[in-house]
Amino acid sequence: MTDIENLAADVRAFTSNVFLVTGDRRILVDAGANFDVVGGVESRVDGLDAVVLTHTHRDHVGNVDAVRRAFDVETWGFDPAQSTVDNELGDSVRLGDDDYSVLHTPGHKDDHVCLYADGPKVCFAGDLVFANGAFGRTDLEEGDRETLVRSIDRLLDTVAPDLAVLHTGHGPSVTADAYATVERAGQAARR
């Protein structure tokens, strides 16, 4: 059975959320930065199969080298030209016991992806959308508001209206009205 835990939930450093997904495949979704993620993983499982990156902003990849060394794993992301990406993601990736569709969702960063599994109705949204209908910054390099809006629309077209959980790159995961949260983010980004 798949279990998902945010290893950065109580971290008070500048980092992204880091989700340990266990089951058939033990995967980290994003590696975070500025905290001991290796110790967090080691206290829960005896190894990893891979790291999957939603995008390559420093707060999501700062711990990649430490994770690579500790667990002898490779990273998967949208753009293998990035030094923190060993392999290019295809159309889907297995996290835990479930296959997730890989959606290219630029606007916050050109190599941004969201991951969605229709069976359990779970989405890893990276920095595209957040709780309370917030959306990712577009004032950073590679950010573009119109592109972000199109990416949010693409996510809405892909995820089911009964989306159960939205795991975001920062802040709490959304476990109630997750689809409506994505809708609100799209509306807010249009303003």
Output the domain CATH number for residue 10.
3.60.15.10
Residue of 14, 71, 13, 73 whose CA lies nearest to 39: 71
What residues of the chain score a pLDDT lower than 50?
A: none
pLDDT value of residue 1: 81
pLDDT value of residue 23: 96
Cα–Cα distances (Å) from 184 to 17, 64, 79, 113, 134, in that order, read 21, 32, 29, 19, 8
pLDDT value of residue 71: 98
Q: For 90-145, how does the pLDDT look when each residue is reduced to its tens digit (9 = 90+)? A: 999 999 999 999 999 999 999 999 999 999 999 999 999 999 999 999 999 999 99
The tally of domains found in the chain comes to 1
Angle (deg, nearest 10), helices 145-158 and 178-190: 160
- Token pair belonging to 177: 């009205």
- Token pair belonging to 7: 């290893």
pLDDT value of residue 146: 98
The burial of 114, by beta-carbon neighbours within 10 Å (0-12 exposed, 13-18 middle, 19 or more buried), is given as buried
Domain boundaries, position 56? 3-190
